[in-house]
Amino acid sequence: MRRVAVIMAGGSGERFWPLSRWLRPKQLLPLSGTGRTMIQDTVDRLLGPFDPSDIVVATAPHLVEPIAAQLPELPSANILAEPHKRNTAGCLVWIAAGLLAEDPGARATTSMAVVASDHQIEPAAGFQRTVATALDAAEAGRGLGTIGIAPDRAETGYGYIEVDPSTWSGSPRVGRVAAFREKPSQEDAERYVASGRCLWNSGMFFWTVDGFLSELERVAPDLADATMAIADLLRQGEREAAERRFAEVRSISIDYALMEQASEVFVVEADFQWDDLGAWDALPRSKGVDDHGNVLEGGIVALDTRDSVVVNASADVVACLMGVEGLAVVVTDDAVLVCPKHRAQEVRRIVEKLREQGIDRAR
């Protein structure tokens, strides 16, 4: 069976403002500590298990050229622009339709691994083992799959997957999903971790094209109909008509539209370390800290500074800090961010305020 890797890379990464911008969102930044950008790291992990011709990137139209420039190892035709923003369900409808347009028999002959473009994952070998296990399970008819991460803290920023412990088998372990849990309160997160039944939801998905369409036909027939209609139009060379049909697709996440309603969902426990690097306060986990608990990058003078993340991306400015603790400070040529590190998840509020005021610093 042909295996296709789909990298979802349409996000804006606003919580990494001011370094993250319209043409350089989070996935195009070197945040993981490898010296490569997040999307380059993602492709590096996929090469080997997947041929470059079978790695597809789904992104926004304005990001096609910047992404293609970072990924010369992929065919340029594999960097696909979604015609309209229709959330993750729409993205995967468009990709599945493209596979069916290319090969009308793909429903029976193709499986998909859907991964994010901006996660930190190591080691690559563990990731590859986990992905192979997930695809094996999907191709064996176990339903739709995802990857769960064994939690090491009561994290409120992630969704959780509750697993039926009696169903665990194999290595890496595969189990049946009992329920998906939304991002919890601190109390609920602590309860989930203490139960031993819950994993973090990685947001990666695995299925055969037939499994995907069969479940859509049952729980979201409008999306299944759209997939087949768009595939037919693309096969006939009617690109503009296909895009118009795609514009009618409702905007909804694949979690709500499909995964939480599917009849059979399995989870593979990750055989790797994972972090979604959601905001500036994640850099100590990805890059490590100095003797004072700081992450310091760029031209910086720091005196009596502790537990802070300071990134200076300007060649013309020196960032100087003294007597501070627990800050996130980011300097670019045209903007400076200063906030308590524990509020880094709220940085997108700054971007929203800039837009309200008509200040062009988000692009």
Nearest to 337 by CA among 324, 326, 350, 353: 350
Question: Model pTM greater than 0.85?
Answer: yes
Local confidence band at 359 (pLDDT 50, 70, 90 cut-offs):
confident
Quickly count: other Cβ atoms within 10 Å of residue 326's Cβ: 16
| Percent of the chain clearing pLDDT 70 (strictly above) | 99
In this prediction, residues 94-111 reach a mean pLDDT of 97
Residue-averaged pLDDT of the chain: 96
pLDDT in the model for residue 11? 83
- The model's pLDDT over 76-93, given as tens digits with 9 standing for 90+, comes to 999 999 999 999 999 999
- The model's pLDDT over 340-352, given as tens digits with 9 standing for 90+, comes to 999 999 999 999 9
User: Angle CA(32)–CA(33)–CA(39) in degrees, nearest 5?
Assistant: 40
| Higher per-residue confidence, 122 vs 362 | 122
Question: Which range, of 20-34, 83-97, 326-340, averages the lowest pLDDT?
Answer: 20-34
- Residues 246 and 239 sit within 8 Å (Cβ to Cβ): no
In this prediction, residues 314-319 reach a mean pLDDT of 96
pLDDT in the model for residue 96? 98
- The model's pLDDT over 284-304, given as tens digits with 9 standing for 90+, comes to 998 999 999 999 999 999 999
User: Is residue 305 predicted with pLDDT exceeding 80?
Assistant: yes
For the domain made up of 2-275, give the CATH fold.
Spore Coat Polysaccharide Biosynthesis Protein SpsA; Chain A (3.90.550)
What is the C-alpha separation between 152 and 199, in angstroms, rounded?
Answer: 10
Is the peptide bond between 340 and the residue preceding it cis, with omega within 30 degrees of 0? no
- Indicate the domain borders of the chain: 2-275, 280-346
Residue whose tokens read 């819950």: 198
Local confidence band at 206 (pLDDT 50, 70, 90 cut-offs):
very high
pLDDT in the model for residue 235? 97
pLDDT in the model for residue 12? 81
pLDDT in the model for residue 360? 72
Strands 110-116 and 2-8, by their bridges, are parallel
User: Is residue 363 predicted with pLDDT exceeding 70?
Assistant: no
User: Is residue 362 predicted with pLDDT exceeding 70?
Assistant: no
- The model's pLDDT over 174-197, given as tens digits with 9 standing for 90+, comes to 999 999 999 999 999 999 999 999
User: Is residue 33 predicted with pLDDT exceeding 90?
Assistant: no
Nearest to 79 by CA among 66, 92, 88, 90: 66
- The model's pLDDT over 7-22, given as tens digits with 9 standing for 90+, comes to 999 988 899 999 999 8
What is the C-alpha separation between 31 and 14, in angstroms, rounded?
Answer: 14
- The model's pLDDT over 120-149, given as tens digits with 9 standing for 90+, comes to 999 999 999 999 999 999 999 999 999 999
Nearest to 95 by CA among 211, 6, 215: 6
User: Is residue 245 predicted with pLDDT exceeding 90?
Assistant: yes
For the chain, the C-alpha Rg in angstroms (whole number) is 21
- Residues 138 and 211 sit within 8 Å (Cβ to Cβ): yes
Quickly count: other Cβ atoms within 10 Å of residue 82's Cβ: 20
